[in-house]
With several copies, the nearest count.
Chain A
Amino acid sequence: MSDPSNEGTDRDSLFDAPPMAEQERMVEAILFASADPVSVKDLNDRMPHGCDAAEALMHLRKRYEGRGVQVSHVGDAWAMRTASDLGFLMQRETVETRKLSRAAIETLAIISYHQPVTRAEIEEIRGVGVSRGTVDQLLEMEWIRFGRRRMTPGRPVTFVVTQEFLDHFGLESARDLPGLAELRAAGLLESRPLPSGIPMAGEGDLDAEEEFDFGQSELFED
Protein backbone atom coordinates (compact mmCIF):
# COMPACT_ATOMS: atom_id res chain seq x y z
CA MET A 1 0.00 0.00 0.00
CA SER A 2 2.65 2.47 -0.96
CA ASP A 3 -0.07 4.32 -2.73
CA PRO A 4 -0.64 7.39 -0.58
CA SER A 5 -4.27 7.69 -1.67
CA ASN A 6 -4.93 4.53 0.30
CA GLU A 7 -3.58 5.89 3.48
CA GLY A 8 -5.75 7.26 6.17
CA THR A 9 -8.93 5.77 4.83
CA ASP A 10 -11.47 4.37 7.21
CA ARG A 11 -10.67 0.87 6.14
CA ASP A 12 -7.00 1.16 7.02
CA SER A 13 -7.69 2.53 10.38
CA LEU A 14 -9.76 -0.50 11.22
CA PHE A 15 -6.76 -2.78 11.12
CA ASP A 16 -3.28 -1.91 12.12
CA ALA A 17 -0.76 -3.19 9.66
CA PRO A 18 1.76 -5.56 11.26
CA PRO A 19 5.05 -3.99 12.37
CA MET A 20 7.63 -3.61 9.62
CA ALA A 21 9.82 -6.35 11.13
CA GLU A 22 6.88 -8.69 10.80
CA GLN A 23 6.21 -7.59 7.26
CA GLU A 24 9.81 -8.30 6.45
CA ARG A 25 9.42 -11.85 7.80
CA MET A 26 6.36 -12.28 5.63
CA VAL A 27 8.12 -11.15 2.50
CA GLU A 28 11.00 -13.43 3.40
CA ALA A 29 8.74 -16.46 3.79
CA ILE A 30 6.80 -15.77 0.61
CA LEU A 31 9.89 -15.25 -1.51
CA PHE A 32 11.41 -18.38 -0.03
CA ALA A 33 8.46 -20.64 -0.69
CA SER A 34 7.39 -19.25 -4.04
CA ALA A 35 8.19 -21.27 -7.10
CA ASP A 36 8.37 -18.12 -9.21
CA PRO A 37 9.60 -14.60 -8.64
CA VAL A 38 6.91 -12.50 -6.94
CA SER A 39 5.99 -8.95 -7.87
CA VAL A 40 5.45 -6.23 -5.27
CA LYS A 41 1.80 -6.21 -6.20
CA ASP A 42 1.52 -9.95 -5.57
CA LEU A 43 3.27 -9.53 -2.25
CA ASN A 44 0.87 -6.82 -1.20
CA ASP A 45 -2.07 -8.95 -2.32
CA ARG A 46 -0.91 -11.83 -0.22
CA MET A 47 0.08 -9.89 2.86
CA PRO A 48 -2.42 -8.51 5.37
CA HIS A 49 -4.13 -5.29 4.54
CA GLY A 50 -2.05 -2.18 5.13
CA CYS A 51 1.32 -3.80 4.55
CA ASP A 52 3.99 -2.11 2.49
CA ALA A 53 5.73 -4.92 0.65
CA ALA A 54 8.05 -2.55 -1.22
CA GLU A 55 9.47 -1.18 2.00
CA ALA A 56 9.68 -4.61 3.61
CA LEU A 57 11.53 -5.82 0.55
CA MET A 58 14.13 -3.11 0.88
CA HIS A 59 14.74 -4.04 4.50
CA LEU A 60 14.98 -7.68 3.57
CA ARG A 61 17.29 -6.96 0.72
CA LYS A 62 19.61 -5.08 3.03
CA ARG A 63 19.49 -7.89 5.56
CA TYR A 64 20.65 -10.40 2.99
CA GLU A 65 23.45 -8.25 1.68
CA GLY A 66 26.65 -10.25 1.68
CA ARG A 67 24.86 -13.39 2.80
CA GLY A 68 24.90 -16.73 1.04
CA VAL A 69 21.49 -15.91 -0.37
CA GLN A 70 20.51 -12.74 -2.20
CA VAL A 71 17.22 -10.97 -2.70
CA SER A 72 17.31 -10.12 -6.36
CA HIS A 73 15.24 -8.37 -8.93
CA VAL A 74 14.04 -10.65 -11.70
CA GLY A 75 12.20 -8.71 -14.37
CA ASP A 76 9.62 -6.74 -12.43
CA ALA A 77 9.48 -9.31 -9.67
CA TRP A 78 11.60 -10.46 -6.76
CA ALA A 79 13.21 -13.73 -5.88
CA MET A 80 15.79 -15.18 -3.55
CA ARG A 81 18.78 -16.77 -5.12
CA THR A 82 21.97 -18.25 -3.81
CA ALA A 83 24.87 -15.82 -4.11
CA SER A 84 26.54 -16.21 -7.44
CA ASP A 85 30.01 -16.62 -5.95
CA LEU A 86 28.78 -19.78 -4.24
CA GLY A 87 27.60 -21.42 -7.42
CA PHE A 88 30.43 -23.91 -7.16
CA LEU A 89 28.66 -25.47 -4.18
CA MET A 90 25.75 -26.38 -6.41
CA GLN A 91 27.87 -28.50 -8.63
CA ARG A 92 28.93 -31.99 -8.02
CA GLU A 93 31.63 -33.32 -10.17
CA THR A 94 31.47 -36.92 -11.15
CA VAL A 95 34.24 -38.46 -13.12
CA GLU A 96 33.22 -41.17 -15.46
CA THR A 97 35.75 -43.37 -17.10
CA ARG A 98 34.86 -44.37 -20.59
CA LYS A 99 36.66 -46.38 -23.14
CA LEU A 100 38.10 -44.44 -26.00
CA SER A 101 36.14 -44.84 -29.21
CA ARG A 102 37.41 -47.18 -31.85
CA ALA A 103 38.08 -44.31 -34.21
CA ALA A 104 40.16 -42.57 -31.57
CA ILE A 105 42.11 -45.72 -30.71
CA GLU A 106 42.90 -46.39 -34.34
CA THR A 107 43.94 -42.82 -34.93
CA LEU A 108 46.10 -42.93 -31.85
CA ALA A 109 47.60 -46.24 -32.90
CA ILE A 110 48.52 -44.89 -36.30
CA ILE A 111 50.08 -41.80 -34.80
CA SER A 112 52.10 -43.86 -32.36
CA TYR A 113 53.35 -46.29 -34.98
CA HIS A 114 53.95 -43.78 -37.75
CA GLN A 115 54.83 -40.55 -36.01
CA PRO A 116 55.35 -37.91 -37.17
CA VAL A 117 52.31 -38.37 -39.35
CA THR A 118 49.96 -35.99 -41.14
CA ARG A 119 46.23 -36.18 -41.07
CA ALA A 120 46.14 -37.17 -44.73
CA GLU A 121 48.47 -40.04 -43.97
CA ILE A 122 46.34 -41.18 -41.07
CA GLU A 123 43.33 -41.19 -43.31
CA GLU A 124 45.15 -43.11 -45.95
CA ILE A 125 46.22 -45.78 -43.48
CA ARG A 126 42.82 -46.03 -41.82
CA GLY A 127 40.99 -45.99 -45.09
CA VAL A 128 38.39 -43.60 -43.64
CA GLY A 129 38.35 -39.95 -42.77
CA VAL A 130 39.47 -38.78 -39.37
CA SER A 131 37.12 -36.34 -37.71
CA ARG A 132 38.32 -33.13 -36.15
CA GLY A 133 36.60 -34.29 -32.95
CA THR A 134 38.75 -37.39 -32.73
CA VAL A 135 41.97 -35.46 -33.14
CA ASP A 136 40.81 -32.75 -30.74
CA GLN A 137 39.93 -35.37 -28.17
CA LEU A 138 43.40 -36.89 -28.36
CA LEU A 139 44.99 -33.46 -28.22
CA GLU A 140 42.87 -32.55 -25.22
CA MET A 141 43.84 -35.74 -23.46
CA GLU A 142 47.39 -34.69 -24.15
CA TRP A 143 48.17 -38.02 -25.68
CA ILE A 144 49.15 -36.42 -28.99
CA ARG A 145 50.55 -33.05 -29.89
CA PHE A 146 51.53 -31.20 -33.03
CA GLY A 147 54.91 -32.11 -34.43
CA ARG A 148 56.86 -30.26 -37.04
CA ARG A 149 55.28 -29.25 -40.26
CA ARG A 150 56.07 -31.55 -43.14
CA MET A 151 58.26 -29.87 -45.77
CA THR A 152 55.89 -30.80 -48.53
CA PRO A 153 53.42 -28.67 -50.48
CA GLY A 154 50.85 -27.19 -48.14
CA ARG A 155 53.26 -27.73 -45.26
CA PRO A 156 50.81 -29.96 -43.37
CA VAL A 157 51.14 -30.32 -39.62
CA THR A 158 52.17 -33.65 -38.24
CA PHE A 159 51.12 -35.39 -35.08
CA VAL A 160 53.32 -37.12 -32.56
CA VAL A 161 52.58 -38.82 -29.26
CA THR A 162 53.40 -37.12 -25.98
CA GLN A 163 55.28 -38.08 -22.86
CA GLU A 164 51.88 -38.30 -21.22
CA PHE A 165 50.95 -40.97 -23.73
CA LEU A 166 54.12 -42.94 -23.05
CA ASP A 167 53.50 -42.68 -19.30
CA HIS A 168 49.94 -43.87 -19.63
CA PHE A 169 50.88 -46.89 -21.67
CA GLY A 170 54.05 -47.56 -19.74
CA LEU A 171 56.35 -47.14 -22.68
CA GLU A 172 59.88 -45.81 -22.72
CA SER A 173 59.49 -44.54 -26.23
CA ALA A 174 57.16 -45.06 -29.14
CA ARG A 175 59.78 -47.31 -30.66
CA ASP A 176 59.02 -49.83 -27.94
CA LEU A 177 55.63 -50.50 -29.46
CA PRO A 178 55.57 -54.08 -30.73
CA GLY A 179 55.96 -54.48 -34.46
CA LEU A 180 53.60 -56.24 -36.76
CA ALA A 181 55.52 -59.51 -36.52
CA GLU A 182 55.37 -59.41 -32.76
CA LEU A 183 51.70 -58.56 -32.84
CA ARG A 184 51.13 -61.55 -35.03
CA ALA A 185 53.17 -63.75 -32.75
CA ALA A 186 51.17 -62.52 -29.78
CA GLY A 187 48.00 -63.52 -31.56
CA LEU A 188 46.88 -59.93 -31.75
CA LEU A 189 47.18 -59.83 -35.42
CA GLU A 190 45.42 -62.74 -36.93
CA SER A 191 45.62 -62.78 -40.59
CA ARG A 192 42.25 -64.27 -40.90
CA PRO A 193 41.93 -66.16 -44.10
CA LEU A 194 38.30 -66.19 -44.98
CA PRO A 195 37.86 -68.93 -47.54
CA SER A 196 34.14 -68.53 -47.84
CA GLY A 197 34.39 -64.85 -48.42
CA ILE A 198 31.83 -64.23 -45.72
CA PRO A 199 32.64 -61.52 -43.24
CA MET A 200 33.15 -62.51 -39.65
CA ALA A 201 30.25 -61.64 -37.46
CA GLY A 202 32.20 -59.41 -35.15
CA GLU A 203 34.08 -57.57 -37.79
CA GLY A 204 31.07 -56.66 -39.85
CA ASP A 205 29.06 -55.59 -36.87
CA LEU A 206 31.70 -53.37 -35.49
CA ASP A 207 32.21 -51.62 -38.73
CA ALA A 208 28.54 -50.99 -39.05
CA GLU A 209 28.42 -49.68 -35.54
CA GLU A 210 31.33 -47.39 -36.09
CA GLU A 211 29.70 -46.10 -39.19
CA PHE A 212 26.76 -45.16 -37.07
CA ASP A 213 28.57 -43.80 -34.05
CA PHE A 214 31.55 -41.98 -35.29
CA GLY A 215 31.73 -42.51 -38.98
CA GLN A 216 28.81 -40.27 -39.63
CA SER A 217 30.57 -37.22 -38.46
CA GLU A 218 33.80 -38.36 -39.93
CA LEU A 219 32.32 -38.70 -43.34
CA PHE A 220 30.87 -35.27 -43.37
CA GLU A 221 33.26 -33.21 -41.44
CA ASP A 222 36.35 -33.26 -43.48
Chain B
Amino acid sequence: MTDPKDTPELQLNVIDRLAAEAFVIDVDGFEGPLDILLSMARTQKVDLRKISILDLSRQYLRFVEQAKELRLELAADYLVMAAWLAFLKSRLLLPPDPTEEGPSGEDLAAHLAFQLERLQAMRDCAAKLMARDQKGRDFFVRGILEQMERLRKVRYTATLIDLMQGYARIRTKDEFRPFVLDRQKVFTMEEALERLRGMIGFTGQWTDLDSYMPDGWHDDPVKWRSATASTFAASLELVKEGRAEIQQSESFAPIQVRRRETPRE
Protein backbone atom coordinates (compact mmCIF):
# COMPACT_ATOMS: atom_id res chain seq x y z
CA MET B 1 0.00 0.00 0.00
CA THR B 2 2.78 2.42 0.85
CA ASP B 3 4.58 1.66 -2.32
CA PRO B 4 7.46 4.08 -2.85
CA LYS B 5 6.28 4.47 -6.42
CA ASP B 6 3.26 6.34 -5.18
CA THR B 7 3.36 10.00 -6.00
CA PRO B 8 3.08 12.42 -3.07
CA GLU B 9 -0.52 13.34 -3.70
CA LEU B 10 -1.35 9.68 -3.26
CA GLN B 11 0.13 9.49 0.17
CA LEU B 12 -3.26 9.60 1.77
CA ASN B 13 -3.70 7.98 5.07
CA VAL B 14 -5.04 4.50 5.15
CA ILE B 15 -8.59 5.41 6.08
CA ASP B 16 -8.85 7.94 3.29
CA ARG B 17 -7.49 5.47 0.83
CA LEU B 18 -9.83 2.75 1.89
CA ALA B 19 -12.70 5.18 1.63
CA ALA B 20 -11.52 6.27 -1.80
CA GLU B 21 -11.26 2.69 -2.98
CA ALA B 22 -14.61 1.87 -1.50
CA PHE B 23 -16.01 4.74 -3.48
CA VAL B 24 -14.56 3.41 -6.68
CA ILE B 25 -15.74 -0.09 -6.03
CA ASP B 26 -19.13 0.41 -4.51
CA VAL B 27 -20.39 3.38 -6.39
CA ASP B 28 -18.97 2.82 -9.80
CA GLY B 29 -18.55 -0.90 -9.77
CA PHE B 30 -15.72 -0.53 -12.24
CA GLU B 31 -12.99 -3.04 -11.99
CA GLY B 32 -10.93 -2.76 -15.11
CA PRO B 33 -10.65 -1.14 -18.45
CA LEU B 34 -12.86 -3.60 -20.21
CA ASP B 35 -15.35 -3.36 -17.45
CA ILE B 36 -15.67 0.37 -17.86
CA LEU B 37 -15.99 0.09 -21.55
CA LEU B 38 -18.47 -2.63 -21.17
CA SER B 39 -20.67 -0.64 -18.88
CA MET B 40 -20.35 2.44 -21.05
CA ALA B 41 -21.05 0.49 -24.15
CA ARG B 42 -24.03 -1.03 -22.47
CA THR B 43 -25.47 2.26 -21.28
CA GLN B 44 -25.13 3.70 -24.76
CA LYS B 45 -26.87 0.57 -25.97
CA VAL B 46 -25.24 0.74 -29.36
CA ASP B 47 -22.90 -1.25 -31.45
CA LEU B 48 -19.39 -0.34 -30.48
CA ARG B 49 -18.47 0.21 -34.07
CA LYS B 50 -21.09 2.88 -34.40
CA ILE B 51 -20.65 4.75 -31.16
CA SER B 52 -18.63 7.86 -31.01
CA ILE B 53 -15.23 6.68 -30.11
CA LEU B 54 -14.44 10.31 -29.38
CA ASP B 55 -17.15 10.47 -26.74
CA LEU B 56 -16.21 7.13 -25.40
CA SER B 57 -12.60 8.17 -25.12
CA ARG B 58 -13.51 11.41 -23.46
CA GLN B 59 -15.63 9.64 -20.86
CA TYR B 60 -13.04 7.07 -20.39
CA LEU B 61 -10.22 9.52 -19.96
CA ARG B 62 -12.31 11.46 -17.50
CA PHE B 63 -12.68 8.34 -15.45
CA VAL B 64 -8.97 7.67 -15.66
CA GLU B 65 -8.31 11.20 -14.40
CA GLN B 66 -10.62 10.56 -11.53
CA ALA B 67 -9.07 7.23 -10.77
CA LYS B 68 -5.62 8.71 -10.98
CA GLU B 69 -6.39 11.01 -8.10
CA LEU B 70 -7.23 8.02 -6.03
CA ARG B 71 -4.72 5.50 -7.06
CA LEU B 72 -1.95 5.43 -9.55
CA GLU B 73 -1.75 1.69 -10.00
CA LEU B 74 -5.30 1.59 -11.17
CA ALA B 75 -4.79 4.43 -13.61
CA ALA B 76 -1.59 2.91 -14.96
CA ASP B 77 -3.49 -0.20 -15.81
CA TYR B 78 -6.07 1.88 -17.58
CA LEU B 79 -3.59 3.92 -19.53
CA VAL B 80 -2.96 0.97 -21.79
CA MET B 81 -6.58 1.06 -22.67
CA ALA B 82 -6.51 4.82 -23.15
CA ALA B 83 -3.64 4.50 -25.59
CA TRP B 84 -5.58 1.77 -27.32
CA LEU B 85 -8.61 3.98 -27.65
CA ALA B 86 -6.68 7.00 -28.84
CA PHE B 87 -5.11 4.82 -31.49
CA LEU B 88 -8.46 3.41 -32.44
CA LYS B 89 -9.96 6.87 -32.66
CA SER B 90 -7.21 8.09 -34.96
CA ARG B 91 -7.70 5.10 -37.21
CA LEU B 92 -11.39 5.75 -37.44
CA LEU B 93 -11.18 9.49 -37.98
CA LEU B 94 -8.51 9.50 -40.64
CA PRO B 95 -9.34 8.28 -44.10
CA PRO B 96 -7.76 4.90 -44.62
CA ASP B 97 -4.30 5.13 -46.10
CA PRO B 98 -3.93 2.37 -48.69
CA THR B 99 -0.14 2.34 -48.31
CA GLU B 100 -0.26 1.85 -44.59
CA GLU B 101 -0.18 -1.64 -43.23
CA GLY B 102 -1.89 -2.83 -40.14
CA PRO B 103 -5.44 -3.18 -39.05
CA SER B 104 -8.08 -0.63 -39.83
CA GLY B 105 -10.03 1.19 -37.20
CA GLU B 106 -12.96 -0.98 -38.16
CA ASP B 107 -10.97 -4.13 -37.39
CA LEU B 108 -9.90 -2.76 -34.07
CA ALA B 109 -13.40 -1.77 -33.09
CA ALA B 110 -14.61 -5.20 -34.12
CA HIS B 111 -12.00 -6.82 -31.97
CA LEU B 112 -12.89 -4.66 -29.04
CA ALA B 113 -16.51 -5.65 -29.49
CA PHE B 114 -15.46 -9.30 -29.53
CA GLN B 115 -13.48 -8.92 -26.34
CA LEU B 116 -16.36 -7.27 -24.59
CA GLU B 117 -18.83 -9.86 -25.73
CA ARG B 118 -16.53 -12.66 -24.65
CA LEU B 119 -15.98 -11.16 -21.24
CA GLN B 120 -19.70 -10.73 -20.78
CA ALA B 121 -20.23 -14.34 -21.83
CA MET B 122 -17.69 -15.50 -19.27
CA ARG B 123 -19.40 -13.48 -16.58
CA ASP B 124 -22.69 -15.07 -17.46
CA CYS B 125 -21.05 -18.47 -17.35
CA ALA B 126 -19.54 -17.73 -13.97
CA ALA B 127 -22.96 -16.80 -12.68
CA LYS B 128 -24.47 -19.98 -14.13
CA LEU B 129 -21.70 -22.03 -12.63
CA MET B 130 -22.17 -20.61 -9.18
CA ALA B 131 -25.91 -21.08 -9.45
CA ARG B 132 -25.45 -24.81 -9.94
CA ASP B 133 -26.10 -27.26 -7.17
CA GLN B 134 -22.96 -27.38 -5.13
CA LYS B 135 -21.42 -30.06 -3.03
CA GLY B 136 -21.77 -29.37 0.65
CA ARG B 137 -24.59 -26.92 0.00
CA ASP B 138 -27.15 -28.68 -2.17
CA PHE B 139 -25.92 -32.22 -2.27
CA PHE B 140 -23.83 -34.07 0.22
CA VAL B 141 -21.22 -36.72 0.51
CA ARG B 142 -21.35 -39.73 2.73
CA GLY B 143 -21.19 -38.64 6.34
CA ILE B 144 -19.73 -41.75 7.91
CA LEU B 145 -16.60 -42.64 6.12
CA GLU B 146 -15.45 -46.15 6.28
CA GLN B 147 -11.75 -45.85 6.14
CA MET B 148 -10.06 -48.11 3.73
CA GLU B 149 -8.38 -50.38 6.10
CA ARG B 150 -4.83 -50.96 5.15
CA LEU B 151 -3.79 -54.43 6.02
CA ARG B 152 -0.11 -54.01 6.27
CA LYS B 153 1.42 -57.36 5.82
CA VAL B 154 5.08 -57.37 6.62
CA ARG B 155 7.18 -59.98 4.98
CA TYR B 156 10.50 -60.43 6.62
CA THR B 157 13.43 -61.43 4.60
CA ALA B 158 17.10 -62.13 4.96
CA THR B 159 19.89 -63.19 2.67
CA LEU B 160 22.46 -65.89 3.08
CA ILE B 161 25.07 -63.20 3.61
CA ASP B 162 23.03 -61.77 6.49
CA LEU B 163 22.86 -65.21 7.98
CA MET B 164 26.56 -65.90 7.68
CA GLN B 165 27.53 -62.46 8.90
CA GLY B 166 25.22 -62.93 11.85
CA TYR B 167 26.85 -66.21 12.69
CA ALA B 168 30.32 -64.80 12.21
CA ARG B 169 29.46 -61.96 14.53
CA ILE B 170 28.48 -64.32 17.31
CA ARG B 171 31.45 -66.61 16.87
CA THR B 172 33.95 -63.79 16.96
CA LYS B 173 32.42 -62.05 19.90
CA ASP B 174 34.86 -63.62 22.31
CA GLU B 175 37.75 -62.07 20.48
CA PHE B 176 36.60 -58.61 21.28
CA ARG B 177 37.79 -57.10 24.50
CA PRO B 178 35.02 -55.16 26.04
CA PHE B 179 35.90 -51.51 26.36
CA VAL B 180 36.86 -50.72 29.91
CA LEU B 181 38.93 -47.67 30.64
CA ASP B 182 42.11 -48.71 32.30
CA ARG B 183 42.05 -46.30 35.18
CA GLN B 184 45.37 -47.45 36.50
CA LYS B 185 47.27 -45.69 33.78
CA VAL B 186 45.22 -42.54 33.76
CA PHE B 187 46.19 -39.46 35.72
CA THR B 188 42.98 -37.51 35.77
CA MET B 189 42.61 -33.79 35.32
CA GLU B 190 41.10 -33.55 38.79
CA GLU B 191 44.13 -35.23 40.33
CA ALA B 192 46.53 -33.02 38.40
CA LEU B 193 44.63 -29.90 39.38
CA GLU B 194 44.68 -30.81 43.00
CA ARG B 195 48.38 -31.52 42.91
CA LEU B 196 49.21 -28.36 40.99
CA ARG B 197 47.06 -26.14 43.22
CA GLY B 198 48.91 -27.36 46.26
CA MET B 199 52.35 -26.93 44.76
CA ILE B 200 52.07 -23.70 42.77
CA GLY B 201 51.76 -21.61 45.91
CA PHE B 202 55.40 -22.25 46.65
CA THR B 203 56.78 -21.38 43.24
CA GLY B 204 57.27 -17.75 42.44
CA GLN B 205 59.77 -18.56 39.72
CA TRP B 206 59.31 -20.03 36.28
CA THR B 207 59.42 -23.77 36.68
CA ASP B 208 59.13 -26.49 34.06
CA LEU B 209 55.69 -28.01 34.06
CA ASP B 210 57.35 -31.38 33.79
CA SER B 211 58.59 -31.11 37.34
CA TYR B 212 55.06 -31.01 38.68
CA MET B 213 54.35 -34.47 37.37
CA PRO B 214 53.74 -37.09 40.00
CA ASP B 215 56.48 -39.51 40.92
CA GLY B 216 56.64 -42.75 39.04
CA TRP B 217 54.71 -41.47 36.03
CA HIS B 218 57.72 -40.78 33.88
CA ASP B 219 58.78 -44.32 33.11
CA ASP B 220 55.72 -45.89 31.53
CA PRO B 221 55.08 -44.01 28.26
CA VAL B 222 51.33 -44.51 28.61
CA LYS B 223 51.31 -43.09 32.11
CA TRP B 224 53.66 -40.31 31.08
CA ARG B 225 51.37 -39.25 28.25
CA SER B 226 48.35 -39.20 30.51
CA ALA B 227 50.08 -37.30 33.31
CA THR B 228 51.55 -34.75 30.90
CA ALA B 229 48.21 -34.08 29.31
CA SER B 230 46.34 -33.69 32.57
CA THR B 231 49.03 -31.58 34.23
CA PHE B 232 49.09 -29.25 31.22
CA ALA B 233 45.32 -28.99 31.24
CA ALA B 234 45.39 -28.29 34.97
CA SER B 235 47.95 -25.52 34.46
CA LEU B 236 45.71 -23.89 31.89
CA GLU B 237 42.85 -24.08 34.35
CA LEU B 238 44.93 -22.26 36.99
CA VAL B 239 45.87 -19.57 34.46
CA LYS B 240 42.21 -19.15 33.72
CA GLU B 241 41.53 -18.77 37.43
CA GLY B 242 44.21 -16.06 37.53
CA ARG B 243 46.40 -17.96 39.93
CA ALA B 244 49.27 -18.83 37.62
CA GLU B 245 51.14 -17.64 34.53
CA ILE B 246 52.38 -19.85 31.79
CA GLN B 247 55.04 -19.44 29.10
CA GLN B 248 56.85 -21.33 26.41
CA SER B 249 59.89 -19.80 24.72
CA GLU B 250 59.38 -21.59 21.40
CA SER B 251 57.59 -24.52 19.86
CA PHE B 252 58.32 -27.76 21.67
CA ALA B 253 60.36 -25.94 24.29
CA PRO B 254 59.57 -26.82 27.87
CA ILE B 255 56.42 -25.21 29.22
CA GLN B 256 56.97 -23.17 32.33
CA VAL B 257 54.59 -22.00 35.01
CA ARG B 258 54.80 -19.73 38.01
CA ARG B 259 52.50 -18.33 40.63
CA ARG B 260 50.77 -15.11 39.76
CA GLU B 261 51.73 -12.50 42.32
CA THR B 262 48.39 -10.75 42.63
CA PRO B 263 45.62 -13.14 41.84
CA ARG B 264 42.88 -11.57 39.75
CA GLU B 265 39.51 -11.64 41.30
Contact = CB atoms under 8 A, between A and B. Distances in A.
Question: A contacts B directly in the complex (CB < 8 Å)?
Answer: yes
Interface of A: 29, 32-36, 70, 79-84, 87, 90-100, 102-106, 108-110, 112-113, 125-129, 137, 141, 167-171, 177-180, 183, 186, 188-201, 203-206, 209, 212-213, 216-217, 219-222
Nearest to A34: B143
B interface, how many residues as a size bin? 35 or more
B14 interface: no
Interface stretch (B41-49, B109-117, B190-198, B257-265): B109-117
B157 interface: yes
A212 B3 CA distance: 10
Given A195-B103, A198-B87, 20 more contacts: A81-B144, A84-B139, A91-B148, A97-B155, A106-B170, A109-B129, A110-B167, A110-B170, A127-B173, A168-B136, A177-B129, A188-B161, A188-B164, A199-B83, A201-B33, A201-B34, A209-B76, A212-B5, A217-B31, A222-B25
Given A96-B155, A98-B154, A199-B179, A81 B145 contact: no
Contact of B179 (A97, A198, A212): A198
B77 A100 contact: no
Contacts, number: 307
B170 A125 contact: yes
Interface stretch (B120-128, B223-231, B237-245, B248-256): B120-128
Interface in B79-126: 79-81, 83-84, 87-88, 101-103, 107-108, 111, 114-115, 117-119, 121-126
B243 to A, nearest CB: 35
A33 B137 contact: no
A127 B140 contact: no
A220 B25 contact: yes
Given A91-B149, A169-B129, A178-B164, A126 B170 contact: yes
Contact of B103 (A110, A169, A179, A196): A196
Contacts of B161: 188
A109 B167 contact: yes
Contacts of A93: 136, 140, 143, 150-151, 153
Interface in B29-69: 30-35
B141 interface: yes
B176 interface: yes
11 contacts: A32-B143, A87-B137, A95-B135, A109-B123, A109-B167, A177-B129, A188-B117, A198-B103, A201-B84, A220-B24, A220-B32
Interface of B: 3, 5, 21, 24-25, 30-35, 71, 73-74, 76-77, 79-81, 83-84, 87-88, 101-103, 107-108, 111, 114-115, 117-119, 121-126, 128-130, 132-173, 175-180, 182
B34 A126 contact: yes
B123, B135, B153 — which one has the most chain A CB atoms within 10 A of its CB? B135
Given A35-B143, A105-B130, A192 B164 contact: no
B144 A195 contact: no
Nearest to B135: A168
Nearest to A193: B175
Contact of B126 (A83, A108, A196, A216): A108
Contact of A94 (B80, B88, B151): B151
